[in-house]
Amino acid sequence: MMVDGVEDEEKWLAAGIAGLQQNAFYMHRALDSNNLRDALKYSAQMLSELRTSKLSPQKYYQLYMRAFDELRKLEMFFKEETRRGCSIIDLYELVQHAGNILPRLYLLCTVGSVYIKSKEAPAKDVLKDLVEMCRGIQHPVRGLFLRSYLSQISRDKLPDIGSEYEGDADTVNDAMEFVLQNFTEMNKLWVRMQHQGPAREKDKREKERSELRDLVGKNLHVLSQIEGVDLDTYKETVLPRVLEQVVNCKDEIAQCYLMDCIIQVFPDEYHLQTLEILLGAFPQLQPSVDIKTVLSRLMERLSNYAASSTEVLPEFLQVEAFSKLNNAIGKVIEAQADMPILGAVTLYSSLLTFTLHVHPDRLDYADQVLGACVKKLSGEGKLEDNRATKQIVALLSAPLDKYNDIVTVLKLSNYPSVMEYVDSETNKVMAMVIIQSIMKNNTQISTADKVGALFELIKGLIRDLDGAAHDQVDEDDFKEEQNSVARLIQMLQNDDTEEMFKIICTVRKHILTGGPKRLPFTVPPLVFSSLKLVRQLQGPEENPFGEEGSTTPKKVFQLLNQTIETLYGVPAPELALRLYLQCAEAANDSDLEPVAYEFFTQAYILYEEEISDSRAQVTAIHLIIGTLQRMHVFGVENRDTLTHKATGYSAKLLKKPDQCRAVYACSHLFWVDDQDNMKDGERVLLCLKRALRIANAAQQMSNATRGSTGSVTLFVEILNKYLYFFEKGNTQINAAAIQSLIELITAEMQSESNSPDPAADAFFASTLRYIQFQKQKGGAVGEKYEPIKV
Amino acid sequence: MVLVLAIGDLHIPHRASDLPQKFKSMLVPGKIQHIICTGNLSIKEVHDYLKSLCPDLHVTRGEYDEDSRYPETKTLTIGQFKLGICHGHQVIPWGDLDSLAMLQRQLDVDILVTGHTHQFKAYKHEGGVVINPGSATGAYSSFTFDVNPSFVLMDIDGLRVVVYVYELIDGEVKVDKIDFKKTATTRLAH
């Protein structure tokens, strides 16, 4: 059915255009032969095509435009006629003889244009006549286009200030009156369309109305362009008249469009000064009008106006813009009790942006807005609407973007309350926004209170909130979130050690609610933060005895012990081991032997009981040996116990090469360069010999299982260690021992059962080169190396 | 002229939140031909960031790295130079130059790049050069009390390598440079 209708319309339009063009052709012929009568006859016939009711607005427009073009030529002809002596008044009368009213009125307007230009009558008289005559057409589409024509041809002829048509009798008021009247009549026609036709075609009608709306709105545009309409005129006359029409027409579509039109078309300073009048109209509008969008756009415009220059800001204060808008919004929300939450939040969001732009220093205003929003939210429960949630994120992000400082934002007492009403997903989104803001702006959050408030705010990241389905979280997203929290912890800093300790305790309290999934991410940064604090406490300014109850390294270490323990439940033994060893080193620097020993004990227990993966064991044992090697705080007994254990672990690693390497690494445990009493040459040698035995065993195993003895790399490594201690002055290692090792390696390499290994060969070669280099050095070193033959 | 960035021990996010802003604005994509990373990034985001600076990225495993698949050591040839990378926690005693020299001999490289101590070092011995680019974020270290963020840029040109070290000291970036020349007999001279 619809398709047929469209096809029909196309046919009618084509027919109309054809008719129009044909008559236009004859009209032109008449114009060329100066035949006024014929010209009028054919132009009237041409215009009759516009009498149709069959076309939709879009199609009618096409017809109209062609007629418009033809009428321009006719107008020029009329002008020529008057110059040739024809009286314009006569002409004006002559055209009224046209048979049908619509063509008559088009012609009248056309002549009227020439009439005004001739200045034989005041512009206002002609305009008044025309605007009232047009009342003759009450059909909406035809009437709207006719009046639109009138508006178009009269635009440059309005008696505006400074216009040539201004005179004693003609003033701006007349221009204004004319446009206002045309506007009023057009709006009435437009509204009438809503009620024409059967109910089932309502959608079609509303669509057609929408196509026509700019015709009506144009009048407001014209009004805004009239020079003589200044702020006072606008305030006294224009706005009240326009609003009167808008309110009284009681039509939802018209009200919505026109309110928006007013806001877009007139300057922002006018809006500021007429804020009360404008806002007063809103409650009078039809309940179904989308006030929130219009109000939001008004506030957006005013926000941008405020942002454009600081000079305009006092104006805002003078008109008390904030309180007026605040009240208006409150009234609207109250009046429309069933407004969806999205609407209310959008309004508050726009108002907040406005407030931040216009009154950036009035945190209390911003807080007020948030408070009102909370009140509205409290009646709703948790939000379900996606778009509403997005608006809340916009609402909460606005102060962050403005102040670039979460600390200032936290001063808004209602800010956390708003966060309460979002679901856990949104909380996480917001939390990430907040963390990003902190990192981007390098915000200093330096007291425990603020830290606590902050962590409360971002609790969606810190722990599983009620009802949150944790299994749905994407792995990568989760990691990203937790890493952000970790980075955040790095940003919390205060040079005052007491306050810093409080901060650490506060953070700890929060992250411990995170559960096993989060601890591996959040515990390490807290640990390192604490270790930095320990360093601070050791600083020269710090009184080592401190005051009663003040923070001491010991207190921090206690806290650290309890914190790292929580990783057992994850379980994360490798991470815990690393952290214990870090703490041991820090305790070493603080000269706290029992504390350091305790940390080592914990690390060892983890190694023995929890770390069973071979590769992990190798890394762990190297970390243990490396750390232990640097300890100077241990007494002989403690050191012996720990060393003994470490060498024991080394010898029990699964793979022989790993065993070998760990054991010769242990040799360094018996030789510490800067402590003379820590140089036990014998035990060093014992270790190296043990390593040799293991290397040998490895060779034999290889021979037995694979038929070849495998690489000599291990032997070369041990040789290098021999050289190391030889140079350091270990008397147990002499040139002869080195020589025999060199020969052993050479023999192994040349043996039949040895599979060649270029890397090992190169290694051996560079070792020999090194020996050669040392020999050539001369002096004490050269002497030492002299007996070794390569 | 080949530019090689040597960087490591960032420890993000355990010990640092991000690279210093002044470093970030210096490290732009497209200027560097190779990146050598000693390890302890420690998360994938840092890996991706480095990769965005230069696709030829070589990383060795640090003890805190999230990705356990990085190798313990790596060797590569750039121009006339053989380079070796190792995080360094495997070489005991930590930071001991003689022990590192042994690793250098084992890997048979001209330049050994290593980390772990968070202390910048550029040291020449008979077997070659040992470079420690320090910690790019100035991360906490049990070795050093005051860690200044630092990284190294090597300019390899024929038989010559110029080592530029960038350190952030009191908010300002200070640059220093050291020249190393290699003789044709694969021995590095100063």
How far is residue A348's CA from residue A679's CA, in Å, rounded to a whole number?
A: 75
Q: Is the pLDDT of residue A17 over 60?
A: yes
Candidate from A61-65, A145-149, A309-313, A536-540 with smallest mean pLDDT: A536-540
> How many CB pairs below 8 Å do chains A and B form together?
91
Say if CB A17 and CB A66 are below 8 A apart. yes
Q: How high is the pLDDT of residue A657?
A: 93
Is B10 contained in some domain? yes
pLDDT for res B189 = 43
Nearest to B115 by CA among B97, B99, B135, B142: B135
Answer whether residue B190 is part of any domain: no
Q: Which residue has the tokens 């909460």?
A: A396
Question: What's the angle, vertex CA B49, arms to CA B44 and CA B54, rounded to 5?
Answer: 120
List CB contacts of B97: < 8 A, sequence separation 6 or more: B121, B123, B125, B130
Q: Radius of gyration (Cα) for chain A, nearest Å?
A: 46
Cβ neighbors of B51 (< 8 A, separation 6 or more) are B57
Residue B23 C-alpha, separation from nearest chain A C-alpha, in angstroms:
15
Average pLDDT over residues A521-527: 96
Question: Is the pLDDT at B185 greater than 60, yes or no?
Answer: no
* Chain B residues with CB within 8 Å of chain A CB: 12-18, 43-45, 63-64, 89-90, 92-94, 98-99, 101-102, 105-106, 108, 126-127, 140, 142, 145
Q: How far is CA A585 from CA A54, A438, A545, in A?
A: 93, 32, 21
Chain A closest-CA separation from residue B141 CA (Å): 9
Is residue A245 predicted with pLDDT exceeding 80?
yes
Residue B88 or A704, more confident: B88
Percentage of residues in chain A having pLDDT higher than 90: 49
Task: Specify whether the CB–CB gap between A663 and A693 falls below 8 A.
Answer: no
* Position A169 confidence tier, pLDDT thresholds 50, 70, 90: low
How many C-beta neighbours within 10 Å does residue A5 have? 11
Model confidence at A307: pLDDT above 60: yes
Which residues from A are below 8 Å from B14, CB to CB? 486, 524-525, 528
Distance CA A152, CA A143 (A): 14
| Digit-coded pLDDT (tens) for A36-59 | 888 899 999 999 999 988 888 889
Mean per-residue pLDDT for A4-16? 84
A483 and B13: CB-CB below 8 Å? yes
* Gap between the Cα atoms of A231 and A240, Å rounded: 13
Token output for B28: 């732009």
- What is the structure's pLDDT at A427? 87
Q: Which of residues 609-638 of A touch B (CB under 8 A)?
A: 619, 622-623, 625-626, 629-630
Q: Specify which of A65-69, A370-374, A579-583 reaches the highest per-range mean pLDDT.
A: A579-583
B190 confidence band (pLDDT: 50, 70, 90): very low
Residue B157 lies inside a defined structural domain of this protein: yes
Q: Which two tokens stand for residue A105?
A: 């009125």
Decide if A537 touches B, using CB distance below 8 A: no
The lowest-confidence range among A121-130, A540-549, A589-598 is A540-549
d(CA A63, CA A41): 19
Contacts of A53 (CB under 8 A, 6+ apart): A139, A141, A142
How does residue B118 score in pLDDT terms, banded at 50, 70 and 90? very high
Mean pLDDT of B173-185: 85
Q: Work out the pLDDT band at A84, boundaries 50, 70, 90.
A: confident
8 Å CB contact of A487 and B126? no
Mean pLDDT of A379-406: 83
pLDDT tens digits, one per residue of A447-487: 999 999 999 999 889 988 776 555 667 888 899 999 999 99
Closest CA–CA distance from residue B142 to any residue of chain A (Å): 6
Q: What is the DSSP secondary structure assignment for residue A87, as one 8-state letter?
A: -
Instruction: Measure A584 CA to nearest chain B CA, in Å.
Output: 10
pLDDT surpassing 90 at residue A654: yes
Mutation for A interface: B46, B47, B75, B106, most A CBs within 10 A: B106
Q: Provide the pLDDT for residue A160.
A: 81
Averaged confidence pLDDT in chain A: 88
Residues of chain B positioned with their CB less than 8 A from the CB of A439: 17-18
Q: Give the angle A22-A25-A29 at the CA atoms, nearest 5°.
A: 145
Q: A662: distance to nearest CA of chain B, Å?
A: 10
Of A490, A532, A630, the CB nearest to B13: A490
User: In chain A, which residues have their Cβ closer than 8 Å to the Cβ of B43?
Assistant: 479, 483
Number of domain units in chain B: 1
Residues of B in contact with A536 (CB under 8 A): none
DSSP letter (8 states) at residue A757: -
Element (H, E) at A220: helix A202-225
Whether residues A629 and B92 touch (CB distance < 8 A) is answered with yes
- Could you tell me the end-to-end alpha-carbon distance of chain A, in angstroms, rounded to an integer? 106
State the residue range of the domain holding B117: 2-181
More confident site: A398 or A540: A398
The C-alpha of B106 sits at a distance from chain A's nearest C-alpha, in angstroms, of 5
Helix (H) or strand (E) holding B4: strand B2-7
Tell me which of B9, B12, B14 to substitute to probe the interface with A (most A C-beta atoms closer than 10 Å).
B14
DSSP three-state, residue A589:
helix
In chain B, which residue's Cα lies nearest the Cα of A589? B142
* A747 at B interface, C-beta within 8 A: no
- Cβ-defined contact of B140 to A524 (cutoff 8 Å): no
For residue A688, give the amino acid letter: L
Q: Is residue B187 in a domain?
A: no
Q: Which amino acid is at A118?
A: S
Q: What angle do CA A704, A710, A712 make, to 5 degrees?
A: 130
Residue A470 has a pLDDT of 57
Question: CA nearest A485 in B: which residue?
Answer: B13
DSSP string for residues in A27-81: HHHHHHTT-HHHHHHHHHHHHHGGG-SSS-HHHHHHHHHHHHHHHHHHHHHHHHH
- Which of residues A421 and A771 earns the better pLDDT score? A771
Residue B146 lies in a domain: yes
Q: State whether residue A769 sits within 8 Å of chain B by CB.
A: yes
pLDDT tens profile A214-230: 999 999 999 998 888 88
Mean pLDDT of A137-159: 91
Best mutation site among B102, B107, B114, B125 for testing chain A: the one with the most A CBs within 10 Å? Answer: B102
* Whole-number pLDDT of residue A119: 83
Q: Is the pLDDT of residue A405 over 90?
A: no
Q: Are A263 and A301 in contact (CB under 8 A)?
A: yes
Going by pLDDT thresholds of 50, 70 and 90, the confidence category of residue A588 is: very high
Return the closest-CA partner of residue B36 out of B89, B64, B76, B92: B76
Which CATH number characterizes residue B65's domain? 3.60.21.10
Substitution target from B104, B105, B137 for chain A, most A beta carbons within 10 A: B105
Predicted pLDDT of residue A548: 61
Q: What is the pLDDT of residue A543?
A: 56
The DSSP-derived string for A476-528 is HHHHHHHHHHHHHHHTB--SSHHHHHHHHHHHHHHHGGG-TTTHHHHHHHHHH
Tell whether B48 is covered by a domain: yes
**Better-scored residue on pLDDT, B144 or A664:** A664
Listing from the earlier edge strand, what are the strands of the sheet with B57-59? B57-59, B34-37, B2-7, B150-157, B160-169, B172-183, B187-189
pLDDT band at A1 (very low <50, low <70, confident <90, very high): very low
The stretch A715-740 carries a mean pLDDT of: 92
Determine, for residues B13 and A525 on separate chains, whether the beta-carbon distance falls below 8 Å.
Answer: yes
What would the mean pLDDT of A304-320 be, rounded to a whole number? 83
The answer to whether the peptide bond before residue B93 is cis (omega within 30 degrees of 0) is yes
The reported pLDDT for the residue numbered A288 is 83
Residue A486 and residue B13 in contact, taking contact as beta carbons nearer than 8 Å: yes
Which residues are B5's β-sheet partners?
Answer: B35, B153
- CB interface of A with B, residues 645-704, below 8 Å: 665, 668
Please report whether residue B9 resides in a domain: yes
Interchain CB distance below 8 Å, A578 and B93: no
Q: For the segment B130-158, what is each residue's pLDDT rounded down to a tens digit?
A: 999 999 999 999 988 889 999 999 999 99
The CA distance from A645 to A608, in Å, is: 10
In the structure, what pLDDT confidence band is assigned to residue A4 with cuts at 50, 70 and 90?
A: low
Question: Looking at the complex, does the CB of residue A535 fall below 8 Å from at least one CB of chain B?
Answer: yes
Does residue B186 carry a pLDDT above 80?
no
Whether residue B142 and residue A585 make contact (CB cut-off 8 A), yes or no, is: yes
B189 located within any domain: no
Alpha-carbon Rg for chain B in angstroms: 15
pLDDT in tens, A597-617: 999 999 999 999 999 999 999
The H or E element that residue A84 is part of is: none
B93 contacts in A (CB within 8 Å)? 626, 629-630, 668
Please determine, for residue B58, whether its predicted confidence score (pLDDT) is greater than 90.
Answer: yes
3-state secondary structure of A385: coil
CB neighbour list of residue B185: distance below 8 Å, 6 or more residues apart: none
Task: For the beta carbon of residue A292, count every other beta carbon within 10 angstroms.
Answer: 22
Candidates B4, B1, B6; CA nearest to B151 is B6
- Asked if pLDDT for residue A514 goes beyond 80, the answer is yes
Q: Are A299 and A351 in contact (CB under 8 A)?
A: yes
Residue of A nearest to B106 (CA): A763
Amino acid identity at A256? C
Residue B79: alpha-carbon gap to chain centroid = 18
| Predicted pLDDT of residue A7 | 79
- The confidence score (pLDDT) of residue A443 equals 87
Q: Which of B24, B94, B142 has the highest number of chain A CBs within 10 A, making it the mutation to test binding with A?
A: B142
Q: Which residues of B touch A484 (CB under 8 A)?
A: 13
- CA distances for A616 relative to A517, A610, B63, B69, angstroms: 21, 11, 10, 12
Share of chain B above pLDDT 90, in %: 83
